[in-house]
Structure 1
């Protein structure tokens, strides 16, 4: 399972935020930067792979983290592995102007 939240930004479209379920509430370190995976941004409603895929396909922008979520975006052709920043062994990607 995953978590999904769609942020509606006036004048800018949507930002789809999605993360693998086991990452919610976790703080990862990337160099000196902390990456906090919070329900406020990534949502607190569980979503299926199909729901995440539909949201990403319809998105203007996306912020995704986790192996399963990123695999969906790769399968949809939205990102490649080279587009991801690895935080430890966790892939993270931001996609603009989908």
Structure 2
């Protein structure tokens, strides 16, 4: 997996993706979803690093079956909130307050 952390005025923004889908585009009912290097490229990360990054996130975008499954497994995302983007999974995390 690949993780990218950014500090923003609103808090930490984390993006996570499966390494194999970086640069891919998926069709979501006629709407393309791009896993762009500009947004998702970062550092290779093992499961522990991804979990630690998601724990610090105010907002997170997670794409790819491996990354989303990990987020669900650790309680960051509910499985019912995972989207199927025509070949891969996508989820978002937003912490309020």
Q: TM-score, normalised by structure 2?
A: 0.91
Q: Which runs of 4+ in 1 moved over 2 A?
A: none
Aligned residue number for residue 78 of structure 1: 76
SS at match of 1:74: helix
Residues 22-71 of structure 1: CA distance to partner in whole angstroms, max 9, x if unpaired? 11010111012111111211124211111111100111111001111111
SS of 2:71's equivalent in the other structure is: helix
Matches within 5 A, 1:17-32: 17-32=15-30
The number of equivalent residue pairs is 96
In the alignment, structure 2 segments of 5+ residues that lack a partner are: none
**Aligned equivalents of 2:32 and 2:91: distance in 1?**
16
Match of 2:6 in 1: 7
TM-score by length of 1: 0.90
Quote the RMSD (CA, aligned, Å). Answer: 1.3
Gapped regions of structure 1 (runs ≥ 5): none
Choose the corresponding residue for 1:91, options 85, 89, 92. Answer: 89
Task: Give distance in 2, aligned partners of 1:94 and 1:42.
Answer: 13
User: Aligned equivalents of 2:81 and 2:93: distance in 1?
Assistant: 9
